[in-house]
Amino acid sequence: MLVGCGGAALPTEQLTTAKASMAAAEVAGAPNEPAAALMLKHARDQIEQAEKLIAEEEYEPADWLLRRAAVDANLALALAEEAATANAATQAKQDLEKLKKALSEE
């Protein structure tokens, strides 16, 4: 285990978690939803900053940035899933209305 200034350990687990959370948000469609895309950008920026801090062996601030990045990426994921659910509900409602109309015309 690598330890930098102040005794903080290299935040490899947090880096992996943040990147995995970001990837999950991307797969869920976060780039296509404005609010989710913004949170995804925040997460990406924080990961980039953290990687620079890691290169400078500033592990403690990198750890905090990576934890925040994971939270932002998880929020992006939730926002993307919420938008997808809302879109599916709207489509189902429209389909139901079409079906009702078709049945009433018979």
Residues 25-75 have pLDDT tens digits of: 999 999 999 999 999 999 999 999 999 999 999 999 999 999 999 999 999
* pLDDT value, residue 105: 85
Residue 72: inside a domain? yes
**Model confidence, pTM:** 0.81
> Virtual CA dihedral for 24, 27, 32, 36, nearest 10 degrees?
-10
In a domain, residue 1? The reply is: no
Domains of the chain: total: 1
Residue 2 is assigned to a structural domain of this protein: no
- Identify the residue whose tokens are 């950008």: 41
Q: How far apart are CA 92 and CA 30, in angstroms?
A: 22
Residue numbers of the domain that contains 24: 12-104
- Closest listed residue to residue 21, CA positions, set 87, 73, 80, 64: 73
Residue 3 in any domain: the answer is no
Neighbouring-strand partners of residue 106: none
